[in-house]
Chain A
Amino acid sequence: MPTKIILAGEGGQGVQTVAKIITITAQRSGRNSSYLPGFGVEQRGGVSLAYLQISSKPITYPRFTKADIVVAFCDRAIPTIKDFLSRDTLFIYDSSAISDKSLEKIKNLVSNYLAIPALALAKEKLSSKVANVVLLGGIITHLKEINYQEFEKTLLEEFATKIEKNPEIKDLNLGALKAGIEIAEKFNKEETPFSGIEPPEIKTNFTKEGISWTRFPEYCKGCGLCIVRCPTKALQFSKDSGFLGNPMPIVDMEKCLGCKTCELICPDAAIKVEKTP
């Protein structure tokens, strides 16, 4: 029987990259593998799915109904992956990105799980961009038949062009992979409850005399146009996450002129600047 894995996250979270790395590595290790990406019509922003299978025998049909491993990257993935859970499924999730409220909805369906605070760990020690590789570390811990070295090799090949541009990317990715493996190996579900996060309170409104500057995390996709456009460099990325889990801007009110440049350039209507009396 093939090992069936489904991955789900936001478009742009690196779901497909993880799927690709696992598939290629499995093939290299002499296994048969198959990977079907599942998108909506959007390039980014829709729930991104990947159906993966690894087997000793050739794989003929790319889809399946129940998965051996389900990996959830974000809150919005939960309704999508729900139907793939069975009693024997290992549910791997980002415990620093998925809320308790979402997990509550599938609590009765999950018996075996692995909680990895991928986004928090990546943000704190590496870069939020490698959160997906932290989860990859968690997944490969449960793919014993594939050699770890092979994963490392594929990972570096996948990012070769980017590494060439910026050599730091190599260590960031390898660090993320190792961090994921470390958590997964030490994980003991008796000690770690099936829980996620309480969505953090994000300060949205900043004021000074005459100016009110507001950001809307439910809309911000973290593109950074406001930051590069600000004439006084009053904006920079913060640790707070917006809609896709990307970092969102924060304002230094001392520098803010209230000129609305940030508001006007925002494609998501996630910033509002107002004159106050």
Chain B
Amino acid sequence: MPETALPKSWNKESKPHKFCPGCGQALALKILGAAIDELQIQEKMIYATDIGCSLLSWSMFDVDTIQTHHGRTLPLSVGFKKAKPEAIVLSFTGDGGGYAIGAQHLLNTAMRNDPITVILINNANYAMTGGQLAPTTLMGQKTTTAPGGRGVVQGKPFKGPEMLAQITNEDAYIARGISSNYKQLLEMYKKAINNQIEGRGFSFVEVIAMCPVNWHTNAQESLDFSEKEMTKIYPIGEIKCPQK
């Protein structure tokens, strides 16, 4: 009988983790744990995390970790990488941290081709504060701050990877995965991190994730909304892949 199903790089003391039942972000972090294990980088990397639900991962890993301020994970990571180029720097943020309050940092980090790996969770809402409108909220989707659903006044859903693909160098790795597809997301993570290890430059993976508590959905409905509705607007796949 196995002792545990936890990734080796997960901090066992802090488990069960602090995420909600059925959380796609927790699933994305489990797969990230598997990537860290496979690449054997636990001792060589830092994990930097944002505010929003991502802050709940401050004690997720047996990896040197820093939890920063909302939107400021990328600048901190860039500073760390500049100071210690041999370290593998992994930045974890939500769609608020990356596409709203810290959007200028994401944009400039990508533009400078800073050699860090950014993982961004897209769950179509601001989850930690209870389900408000996010840049990633779908048209018509109801949130606590768009009770009538997202309409033209709130603008169109924000496509991060597609935008970053336009402004990054050819050797950047840009992809969008989904946390309910373990094997595909694992490969994307590994390619993104390897892009950094091999010195090619910036790497970015957006992860579509379920948020059953704020979506008010059961298990099947959560899978359906993320896999069928969200992927219509946010197609899954590699957008830039220099290793090909």
Contacts and interface: CB of A to CB of B under 8 A. Distances in A.
A168 to B, nearest CB: 16
A267 B218 CA distance: 15
A265 B21 contact: no
Interface-centre pick from B21, B22, B127 (highest chain A CB count, 10 A): B21
Interface string B33-59: 000000000000000000001011000
B6 interface: yes
A156 B68 CA distance: 43
B30 interface: yes
Contacts of B244: none
A224 to B, nearest CB: 4
Interface stretch (B10-18, B114-122, B169-177): B10-18
Contact of B182 (A205, A222, A265, A270): A265
A44 B1 contact: no
A178 to B, nearest CB: 27
Contacts of B30: 266-267, 269
A260 to B, nearest CB: 9
A228 B223 CA distance: 9
Given A43-B130, A45-B20, A214 B5 contact: yes
Given A267-B26, A269-B6, A219 B213 contact: no
Nearest to B25: A267
B237 interface: no
Interface residues of B, number: 39
Contacts of A274: 2
Looking at A44, A266, A267, A274, the one whose CB has the most chain B CB atoms below 10 A away is A267
Nearest to B23: A267
A212 B22 contact: no
Interface residues of A, number: 37
A43 B213 contact: yes
B113 interface: no
Given A45-B16, A228-B219, A263-B5, A269 B10 contact: yes
Contacts of A40: 18
A43 B223 contact: no
Given A223-B212, A265-B182, A269-B6, A43 B128 contact: yes
A224 B5 contact: no
Contacts of A41: 18, 55-56, 128
Interface in A225-277: 225, 227-229, 243-244, 246, 263-272, 274
Contacts of A263: 5
A150 B130 CA distance: 29
Contacts of B128: 41, 43
Nearest to B22: A223
A229 B223 contact: yes
A205 B53 CA distance: 33
A83 interface: no
Interface string A37-71: 00011111110000000000000000000000000
Nearest to B26: A267
A23 to B, nearest CB: 19
B5 A271 contact: yes
A268 B16 contact: yes
B21 A212 contact: no
Nearest to A227: B219
B157 interface: no
B1 A43 contact: no
A205 B2 CA distance: 9
Interface string A18-29: 000000000000
Q: Which 10 A-B pairs have the closest CB atoms?
A: A223-B22, A221-B21, A272-B5, A44-B20, A267-B26, A224-B219, A223-B21, A264-B182, A267-B27, A205-B1
Given A40-B18, A223-B23, A264-B182, 10 more contacts: A43-B127, A45-B17, A214-B5, A219-B16, A266-B27, A267-B19, A267-B25, A268-B21, A269-B4, A269-B5
14 contacts: A41-B55, A41-B56, A46-B18, A221-B20, A223-B23, A224-B22, A225-B22, A228-B220, A246-B21, A266-B30, A267-B19, A267-B24, A268-B26, A269-B15
Interface of A: 12, 40-46, 204-205, 212, 214, 216, 218-219, 221-225, 227-229, 243-244, 246, 263-272, 274
Interface of B: 1-2, 4-7, 10, 15-27, 30, 53, 55-56, 127-128, 130, 179-180, 182-183, 212-214, 218-220, 222-223
